[in-house]
Amino acid sequence: MRKLVKLVAIAALAAGLSTAAHAEDPFIIVQSTTSTQNSGLLDHILPMFKKKTGIEVRVVAVGTGQAIKNAANGDGDVLLVHAKPAEEKFIAEGGGVKRFDVMYNDFVIVGPKSDPAKVAGSKDAAAALKKIAAAKALFASRGDDSGTHKAELKLWKDAGIDVKAASGEWYRSTGSGMGATLNTAAGMGAYALTDRATWISFQNKNDLQIAVEGDPMLFNQYGVILVNPEKHKHVKVKEGQQFIDWLIGVEGQNAIRSYMIDGQQLFFPNASAEGMKKAG
């Protein structure tokens, strides 16, 4: 009986650990942001890439800040995020090889239907934020060093408002992802900044609606970078570069363009002609 218990334990352990080691198809790890995953974009385009190349793309979707740190540690082959200054800093510090524009969408400010700050329909983000601050209307911030959070902080700075001083009062820093922050905003009837793709695909809008959109300041650019193989020897240069070339090439750009929810295009490809030619 005791021997039987031991045997069963060993067999179960072997079964549990076995697949951890078995040989797999070629794959790369992409450090990316929640907006590309939660919006469903990656589920739409990655199967096309896999079908063409046989390369599986494993996506770790976190905030841009964390994605860049993970990539700097070498825990990924490719970085796909949306915070250009932080991306350029990442390359300057030797973390990545070269940055390519991939696509853009825009940020929107969403808020409750009751619109306590009277900003609905505005096309001026800075003016709207000033009004929200003046009315002390609730505002839910990501507060997690993500691309969206960085963009939000820049907008507050442009509006000349010190949100740190208001934190805990009308300014609520959730310290969580886009979806969690939208859930919080929906729950407390707060305004929030979100990328449009996440907003369109978000399913718990409650009485939130778009309040401010169309300001050029709300432009949201995504870039892709190969993690520097000189710094991290294990980076899969060939497969990673293949993915980047595909993404900024004609096929990848068309794949991005073709992703729609309810007839709305979520991301707008804008890789440079240089990138298109190189990959084409």
Partner 1 sequence: MSDSGSILTLALSLVLSGDAELWSIIGLSLRVSLTAVLLACLIGLPLGAVLSVARFRGRGAVAALLNAFMGLPPVVVGLAVYLVLSRSGPLGVFGLLYTPAAMIIAQTILVTPLIAALARQSLADLHGEYDELFRSLGLSATEKVSALIWDGRYSLSTAALAGFGRAIAEVGAVIIVGGNIEHVTRVMTTTIALETSKGNLALAMALGIILILLALIVNAAVMALNRTARRLAYA
Residues that bind partner 1 (CB under 8 A): 2, 9, 12-13, 15-17, 19-21, 29, 34, 38, 43, 58-61, 70, 73-75, 177-180, 182-183, 186, 201-205, 232, 234
Comparison of 112 and 249: residue with beta carbon closer to partner 1: 112
b (16+ CB within 10 A) / e for 18-44 = eeeeeeeeeebbbbbbbbbbbbbbbeb
Nearest-approach distance from CB 91 to partner 1, in angstroms:
18
CA pair distance 89, 262, nearest whole angstrom? 37
Nearest-approach distance from CB 227 to partner 1, in angstroms:
9
Comparison of 183 and 209: residue with beta carbon closer to partner 1: 183
Q: What's the token pair of residue 72?
A: 């700097």
Which amino acid is it at 29?
Answer: I
- Please choose, from the candidates 214, 207, 239, the residue with its C-alpha nearest in 3D space to the C-alpha of residue 116: 207
Nearest-approach distance from CB 16 to partner 1, in angstroms:
3
CA pair distance 242, 139, nearest whole angstrom? 42
Count of residues making up the chain: 280
Comparison of 11 and 260: residue with beta carbon closer to partner 1: 11
Q: What's the token pair of residue 190?
A: 């707060």
Nearest-approach distance from CB 62 to partner 1, in angstroms:
8
CA pair distance 173, 253, nearest whole angstrom? 35
Nearest-approach distance from CB 249 to partner 1, in angstroms:
24
- Please choose, from the candidates 280, 269, 257, 230, the residue with its C-alpha nearest in 3D space to the C-alpha of residue 100: 269
Comparison of 170 and 202: residue with beta carbon closer to partner 1: 202
Nearest-approach distance from CB 177 to partner 1, in angstroms:
5
CA pair distance 91, 97, nearest whole angstrom? 6
Comparison of 34 and 241: residue with beta carbon closer to partner 1: 34
Comparison of 151 and 197: residue with beta carbon closer to partner 1: 197
Q: How many CB atoms lie within 10 A of CB 70?
A: 17
